[in-house]
Amino acid sequence: MLEYSMLYPRTTLSRRAVSLDGMWKFCLDEQETGEKSGWTFGIPGNELIPVPASFQDFYTEKEIRDYAGDFWYEKDMFVPEEWEGRELFLRFGAATHRAVVYVNGTKITEHEGGFLPFLANVTRVVRYGASNKVVVKVNNELTVTNIPCGETARLANGRKISKPYFDFFNYSGLQRSVYLLALPKEYIFDFDLNYEISGKDANIQYRVKTTGGHSVMLTLYDEEGRIAAQAKGTDGTMEVKNARLWRVRDAYLYKLVIRIMDGERIVDEYQQEIGIRTIEVKNTLILLNGEPVYLRGFGKHEDSDIVGRGFHIGVMKRDFELMKWIGANSFRTAHYPYSEEIYQMADREGFLIIDEVAAVGMFESLMNFMEASTGKKTAFFEKETTPVLLMAHKRAIEEMITRDKNHPSVIAWSLLNEPETTNEAAVPYFEEVFQLARQLDVQKRPRTFALIMNSVPGACKCYPFSDMIALNRYFGWYVKGGHEIAEAEALFRKEMDAWKALNLNKPFIFSEYGADTLGSEHKLPSVMWSQEYQEEYLKMTNAVFDSYDFIKGEQIWNFADFQTTEGILRVNGNKKGVFTRQRQPKDAAYLLRKRWKELPLDYKR
Ligand code: BDP
């Protein structure tokens, strides 16, 4: 069990959550002398930077954008006198990729893994009724002992740069909100929910963890604010008569209020919107509330102009409006767990999420998508450092599942993206991560991972771990693109026939397929990179998807164009977006919209 509570910060009767978002002081630490120079008490200069945001795209200097190493943030925070006697925490939504936190010069915690929240108990280090200094040292270097995987290289001039084994820019910093939390001494730490539907009614099996021994009470309210169910005790069942189910693009949210009671006195109160639904995989079907669903949607990124990977509430809103417009019903949080607000929005809008941990780049290659298809073997899971990597990976899975398990939108866990699966050494590694996910999730959601092009029948040792097979396939782009598209289709069908022959009796989805397309290019007849080719490519892939009954979903790569490391394969970023980075449609968006609006929800039932 994690040493701190992952519950989303909220102000309730008993809790206070104060946002520390806004301008923070900022500086780089090229010489890595911050601690020695006393920066833990306050950093030099007067440079201000917004939080949440990636630091990279604000500046006009290349050295800053491409900086790898330590960098520091600082903010003053006032702690009210009346909070004495409470438990106080600093909560970071994410610090990419690792951070050390100091309050008034004292180190209070450190955390590794850049896409999940962490908390530090500051009860005993803060001054009450006074201003306190929060200083954070962040580091964005890539390694093979943490996720996402990559290297940090040193140039001849001494500067460090990032060499990701993955295809997105190494944006970093305090990319999500920071909060100061004041909780009662005895507080609600965590809870789990599981659902059972019987006829018109539903049972919610629950388990609540608190930090004390007082009794626990739960009340469930419907959307009109009427009491729908009540229960007492730290675990049990709530019965909901005439339950309104949470459905795809037709979400119904109940409000769950959990209280710790000392007689009549409320010791702690926590509230969260929840949705009643079941999710399972049965034969080749993905069943939501027992009904088959066919996924359509995207692999996404948290990525936009100016703020980079920083959470931006406006970009989030626009993305959901576009997904609704195009008729999508799902997305994968490629290639890391997203900001919590995005899951809350998906809960409200009825989108299905495949929640992915940041286990990407598990193939030694500076251009993984290129070298993977060459059949090259890199013995990735046989390194001396693999056990360290596995520990970090498992820790991230635990943090992700603990954070996201109570969202109705989350229907599956993606535990790796495009790892090397052709060596026997991958098997025990997979065994551990898949087993951990099963053990942590009381809902036993399907587990999956995204298979790279060379993970095919006969070569891939790991697909049996997946409850739902997720393929990343680029026939017609990396393989036989443009004038060779007919051959691409033949190879694509050949591979699908080989999967069919295995008779796995599991649903397959396409977690990636796509073609780079420049919003500016038109060409008749088509050439690769033109808008016309993106449409031609989609017509081919869609025809293949429609030919196999066991294919139960299509999530195109990518929702929008996004930033990557520069290089000869990328034109100022990856251009496989159906939308531009500014969130305007390319021509293919209209083609997809027509298809996705016409396909029934239970297509191929
Ligand atoms: C896959 C990766 C994804 C890349 C994509 C591509 O999973 O991160 O962006 O291919 O090449 O290899 O566009």
Whether the Cβ atoms of residue 436 and residue 398 lie closer than 8 Å to each other: yes
Pick from 473, 467, 384: nearest CA to 430: 467
How do residues 114-163 score in pLDDT, each as one tens digit?
Answer: 999 999 999 999 999 999 999 999 999 999 999 999 999 999 999 999 99
**Cβ 190 vs Cβ 8: under 8 Å:** no
Q: What is the mean pLDDT of the chain?
A: 97
Q: How far, in Å, is the centroid of ligand 1 from the Cα of 169?
A: 12
Looking at the CA of residue 453, tell me the nearest atom of ligand 1. 12
For residue 574, the ligand 1 atom closest to its alpha carbon is: 13
Question: 291-292 and 285-288: which strand pairing?
Answer: antiparallel
Give residue 335 CA to ligand 1 midpoint distance, Å. Answer: 10
Tell me the average pLDDT across 185-193. Answer: 98
Q: Rounded to the nearest whole angstrom, what is the distance from the C-alpha of residue 370 to the centroid of ligand 1? A: 9
What does the pLDDT read at residue 229? 98
Best residue for ligand 1 mutational test, from 168, 512, 558, 569 (most atoms within 8 Å of Cβ):
512
Is residue 311 a contact partner of residue 287, using CB atoms and an 8 Å limit? Answer: no
3-state secondary structure of 208: strand
Pocket probe for ligand 1: among 309, 418, 479, the residue whose CB has the most ligand atoms within 8 Å is 418
Rg over alpha carbons for the chain, rounded to the nearest Å, is: 24
Measuring from atom 9 of ligand 1, which residue has the nearest CA?
Answer: 167
Of the pLDDT bands very low, low, confident and very high (cuts 50, 70, 90), residue 370 is low
pLDDT digits (tens, 9 = 90+) for 334-347: 999 999 999 999 99
**How much is the average pLDDT of 212-227?**
98
Q: What is the pLDDT of residue 542?
A: 98
- Cα 369 to ligand 1 centre (Å): 6
pLDDT of 470 strictly over 80: yes
Query: What residue ranges line ligand 1, CB within 6 angstroms?
Result: 166-167, 335, 368-369, 417-418, 472, 512, 557, 574, 576
Residue 372, pLDDT score? 54
pLDDT at 367: 56
Written as one letter, the residue type at 226 is R
Of all atoms in ligand 1, which is nearest to the CA of residue 514? 13
According to the model, what pLDDT value does residue 374 have?
Answer: 63
DSSP H or E run through 236: strand 235-240
Q: Each residue of 480-519: pLDDT tens digit? A: 999 999 999 999 999 999 999 999 999 999 999 999 999 9
Distance 277 CA to ligand 1 centre (A): 32
SS3 category, 103:
strand
Beta strand pairing call for 254-262 and 235-240: unpaired
The secondary structure element, H or E, covering residue 131 is strand 130-139
Please tell me the predicted confidence (pLDDT) of residue 418.
95
pLDDT in tens, 536-563: 999 999 999 999 999 999 999 999 999 9
Told to judge if 321 belongs to the known catalytic residues of this protein, a careful annotator would answer no
- Is 399 catalytic? The answer is no
**pLDDT at residue number 495:** 98
pLDDT score recorded for residue 363: 86
Query: By mean pLDDT, which of 196-200, 378-382, 451-455 is the weakest?
Result: 378-382
- The pLDDT score that the predictor gives to residue 422 is 92
pLDDT of residue 366: 55
Are the beta carbons of 113 and 395 closer than 8 angstroms?
Answer: yes
**Is the pLDDT confidence value at 375 over 90?**
no
Catalytic residue among 141, 512, 535, 554: 512
3 state SS of 395: helix
- Tens digit of each residue's pLDDT (9 = 90 or more) over 98-114: 999 999 999 999 999 99
Q: Is residue 288 within a helix (H) or strand (E), and if so which, with residue range?
A: strand 285-288
Burial class (CB in 10 A: 0-12, 13-18, 19+), 125: middle
Whose CA is closest to atom 4 on ligand 1?
A: 167
Q: What is the pLDDT of residue 365?
A: 63
268 CA from centroid of ligand 1 (Å)? 45
Contact 223, 275 (CB under 8 A): no
For residue 335, give the ligand 1 atom closest to its CA. Answer: 8
Pick from 471, 574, 575, 581 the residue to mutate for probing ligand 1's pocket: most ligand atoms within 8 Å of its CB.
Answer: 574
Residue type for position 101: V
Burial class (CB in 10 A: 0-12, 13-18, 19+), 324: middle
DSSP track, 201-264:
EEEEEEEEEESS-SEEEEEEE-TTS-EEEEEESSEEEEEETTPPPPBTTB---EEEEEEEEETT
Closest CA to 476 of 539, 406, 567, 395: 539
Cα–Cα nearest to 595, from 329, 354, 316, 246: 329
Average pLDDT over residues 473-483: 97
H/E segment holding residue 23: strand 22-28
Contacts of residue 321, Cβ cutoff 8 Å, sequence gap at least 6: none
Cα–Cα distance, 328 to 331 (Å, whole number): 8
Distance 481 CA to ligand 1 centre (A): 16
Catalytic: which of 418, 420, 532, 536? 418
The reported pTM is 0.98
